[in-house]
């Protein structure tokens, strides 16, 4: 089952008011949502997920609490449209717990894992068209190199992409473990011992299939635009690429624009929208209990002004 990461820190960071509206952009197995919902009375929890399997489980879990909530089966990049549809303008807090859940990784059939054999899939939303099979078998070699470098920071991107293209000329690569073998044969023996040799390439393909980084910056900005003044945004990231995007958005919106720095009267539209609250890492206890938390980081900010 999924062990929630930075649970207490995230819930505390949201300063929950029982009568206000909160959004969990990444419901998953409802670990965070359950704790938010417990603290809600006349307010509302709206939880997004693009994975129907996660929603089915979490709907039942949250029903047990008999508190007001609504689950939206959608990518969080549709936050604005979905909130318009629900006739909701501002909310008091939004959280993101990015990436995949343990059940998604563990269930062999989803094709996320380099440990178990499955069809190359990796879609979080089973209704999406692009699969890992499509990326591995139909992307041009140069695009594979770009993805492995940009989304996996994979040192051996070029030789892995070259060997994928050679292998697929003989027959399509359709299983996760076939891909793992190709990766293993493309990297030096020594590299194989540092971490699993397929880890970075699998991460890169997953990010490409689910457009994880492409949508993140705009989604965070949309989320911030929906916060009321005093509302909090809390974002848990699991790798440096996600964290870099979150840090950039928070920095951009929490600083006074360089052009007007030092002016006696700063025009309103240049004043910061966010105040940074903090950056948190898992405690030693959590690191011992949950290996998945080792790369997690939580960033929290508070809205202090509406963007003009």
Ligand X SMILES: C[S@@+](CC[C@H](N)C(=O)[O-])C[C@H]1O[C@@H](n2cnc3c(N)ncnc32)[C@H](O)[C@@H]1O
Residues that bind ligand X (CB under 6 A): 2, 4, 26, 28-32, 48-51, 54, 75-77, 97, 99-101, 124, 215
- Which of 51, 302 has the CB closer to ligand X? 51
- Which of 4, 163 has the CB closer to ligand X? 4
Angle (deg, nearest 10), helices 216-225 and 240-254: 40
The string of DSSP codes covering 39-98 is: T-SSSEEEEEES-HHHHHHHHHHHHTT---EEEEES-GGGHHHHHHHTT---EEEEEEE-
- Which of 160, 209 has the CB closer to ligand X? 209
Distance in Å, CB of 73 to ligand X, minimum: 9
Distance in Å, CB of 204 to ligand X, minimum: 16
Distance in Å, CB of 185 to ligand X, minimum: 32
Distance in Å, CB of 2 to ligand X, minimum: 5
- Which of 100, 180 has the CB closer to ligand X? 100
- Which of 174, 225 has the CB closer to ligand X? 225
Distance in Å, CB of 47 to ligand X, minimum: 9
Segments in the chain forming alpha helices (H): 7-13, 31-38, 52-63, 79-85, 102-106, 132-138, 141-152, 157-170, 176-184, 189-194, 199-209, 216-225, 240-254, 284-289
User: Beta strands 297-303 and 274-280: pairing type?
Assistant: antiparallel
């Amino acid at each position: 089952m999924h062990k929630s990461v930075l649970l207490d820190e995230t819930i505390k960071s949201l300063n929950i008011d029982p009568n206000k509206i909160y959004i969990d952009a990444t419901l998953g197995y409802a670990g965070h949502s359950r704790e938010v919902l417990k603290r809600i009375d006349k307010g509302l929890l709206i939880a997004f997920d693009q994975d129907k399997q996660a929603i089915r489980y979490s709907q039942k879990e949250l029903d047990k609490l008999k508190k007001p909530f609504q689950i939206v089966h959608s990518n969080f990049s549709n936050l604005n449209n979905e909130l318009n549809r629900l006739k909701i303008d501002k909310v008091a807090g939004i959280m993101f717990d990015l990436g995949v859940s343990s059940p998604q990784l563990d269930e062999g059939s989803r094709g996320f894992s380099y440990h178990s054999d499955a069809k190359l899939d990796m879609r979080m939303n089973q209704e999406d068209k692009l699969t890992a099979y499509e990326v591995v078998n139909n992307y041009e070699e140069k695009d594979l190199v770009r993805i492995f470098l940009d989304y996996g920071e994979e040192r051996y991107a070029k030789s892995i992409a070259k060997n994928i293209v050679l292998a697929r000329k003989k027959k399509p690569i359709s299983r996760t473990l076939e891909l793992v073998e190709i990766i293993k044969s493309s990297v030096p023996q020594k590299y194989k011992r540092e971490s699993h040799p397929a880890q970075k390439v699998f991460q890169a393909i997953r990010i490409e299939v689910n457009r994880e980084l492409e949508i993140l910056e705009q989604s965070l900005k949309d989320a911030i635009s929906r916060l009321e003044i005093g509302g909090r945004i809390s974002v848990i990231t699991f790798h440096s690429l996600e964290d870099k995007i979150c840090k950039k958005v928070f920095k951009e919106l929490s600083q006074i624009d360089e052009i007007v720095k030092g002016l006696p009267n700063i025009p309103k539209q240049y004043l910061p929208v966010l105040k940074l609250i903090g950056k948190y890492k898992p405690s030693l206890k959590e690191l011992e209990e949950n290996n998945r938390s080792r790369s997690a980081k939580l960033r929290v900010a508070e809205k202090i002004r509406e963007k003009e």
